[in-house]
Structure formats: structure tokens, C-alpha cells
Amino acid sequence: MPRALPTWLGMYVVVAFSSSLDVAAIQMDMGCQLDFNHELVTVGISNLISGLCGGYTGSYIFSQTLFTFRTGTRSRLCGAFVCVAELLLFLAPFSIVSYVPKLFFGAVLTFIAVDLMLDWLIHSRSKVHLMEYFVIVATFMLINLCGLQIGMGGGVLISMVGFIYEYASVPVVQRVRLRSNVIRSLPLSSQLNDLQDQVITLRCRGYIFFGSTLQVCSRVGGALTDSDCLRRLRITSDCL
């Protein structure tokens, strides 16, 4: 059992990631939003039952799903037919693969591969941000150069770095011009008007975490450039 734990963990990550990609591919082709959590729970329960029965891990047959969707089939009888057909193939005393031309399988796999590459490497460019498209292309390259598991792991790492970069790039500190709404006497109001240029108001909004600390310091320092103003500065913040 201890030796099987790394393999189990690797398969857990691969199946979860590939299932998410399957759901995303189905969602992109259908043009409507799907509940990822519900779909992953369905895949998880199916893999649990398959494992208890000595079967293999897997995820959605998204090609079958897309074919069914494009033909306009909306009946659950299609899924029931697939289940019955696969059970009959399992119980058959001979291998039906030996009677089917290999060219048929090659043509189907080639069609699926070309369709997926067109969707994710070309058509997705107009549907995702530049950073997300870079993650897609980098993951594709790593999978072809280093294998499935290393490529997907590298893609996840690149996605994490891109996520941190995007959050750190969101403007956090903004300089705004605000006036007090407190009613004061005429001498005090006159004195405040004279000091108006020496009062700097900075508004903090966005994602403040370790990745944005340098940006916060830089923007605050950029707002405080006058040394004479530093000695008499009053900083107000209406949001932290």
C-alpha cells in the first residue's frame, strides 16, 4: 500500500485535471455554463465504483457527448444504450476489436485530436485572456516534450505563477481628490484651503497580499515626492 500511494495521488491529480478539461471542452462546444463541482462529483463516484469492481480510472467520453449533442439527441436512452453495449462487449467471448479495421479507430482518434487542437490552440485565443492562452500553449508544449504527468504538472505551476502575477498587477493604491464634508468656521475653512495642496488622499482597493507589497510601496512613494510636503503631510484613507 505505501508504494501505491504516489501512483494513487498522481492518478487522482491527472483524472481530476483531465475531467475538468473534458467538462470545459463540453461547455465550450455547447455554449452554456456547466456546474464543474457536480460533474467532478459524478466522475468521482463513477471511478470509486469502477475501482471497487476492479476497473480502470477514467472520465467523461466527451467525444461521445459532443457527437450526441451535435446530432440533437436529448434522450437518456442514448446513455443507457452505451452502457448496455459496453456490458455486452465485456461479456462477449471474442474481441470485437480484432474484427474492426484499425483505420476506423485511427480516423476517429485523428478527428478528435484535430478538433481539440483547433478548439484549444486556435479558437480559444479569442475567448480567453492572453495569460490563459499562454498557459494553454505552454501546457501543450510541455506535454509533448516531457510526457503527460510532467507536462500537466508544469502547466499547473505556470498557471499558479500567472495567477500570482495577475493579482499583483491589479492597481491597489489610487490617489483621489476628496473634500471634507464637515462644516467649519470661516477661519478654519480658509486655513484648510491654504493647506489643500499638502493633503494627499490615497485609496486602497484590490488584492493586498505579499505579491502586491512592492506595488503598494512604489505607488505610495510616488505620491509622496515633495520633501517639504512630507514634513507636514496628512494622509487620509477611506478604505483599507
DSSP for 122-182, please give it: IGGGGTS-HHHHHHHHHHHHHHHHH-HHHHHHHHHHHHHHHHHHHHHHS--EEEE------
- The percentage of the chain sitting over the pLDDT mark of 90, rounded to a whole number, equals 6
- Nearest-CA neighbor of 58 among 100, 106, 116, 19? 19
Q: How many domains does the chain have?
A: 1
End-to-end CA distance of the chain: 50
What is the predicted pLDDT for the residue at 228?
44
Is 59 a member of any domain? no
What is the predicted pLDDT for the residue at 197?
67
Task: Report how many helices (DSSP H) and strands (DSSP E) the chain contains, helices first.
Answer: 10, 3
Is 204 a member of any domain? yes
pLDDT tens per residue, range 179-207: 777 777 778 877 777 776 667 777 777 66
What is the predicted pLDDT for the residue at 211?
61
Q: What confidence tier does 236 reach under pLDDT thresholds 50, 70, 90?
A: very low
What is the predicted pLDDT for the residue at 194?
72
Q: How many residues does the chain have?
A: 240
Grid coordinates standing for 155?
502547466
What is the predicted pLDDT for the residue at 227?
43
Is 212 a member of any domain? yes
What is the predicted pLDDT for the residue at 145?
92
Grid coordinates standing for 25?
471542452
Whole-model pTM: value is: 0.50
Is 190 a member of any domain? yes
- What is the domain range of residue 229? 173-236
240: pLDDT strictly greater than 60: no
Is 192 a member of any domain? yes
Is 52 a member of any domain? no
What is the predicted pLDDT for the residue at 138?
92
Is 231 a member of any domain? yes
65: pLDDT strictly greater than 60: yes
90: pLDDT strictly greater than 60: yes
pLDDT tens per residue, range 135-147: 999 999 999 999 8
Q: Which amino acid is at 14?
A: V
Is 41 a member of any domain? no
Grid coordinates standing for 57?
480510472
Contact 172, 206 (CB under 8 A): yes
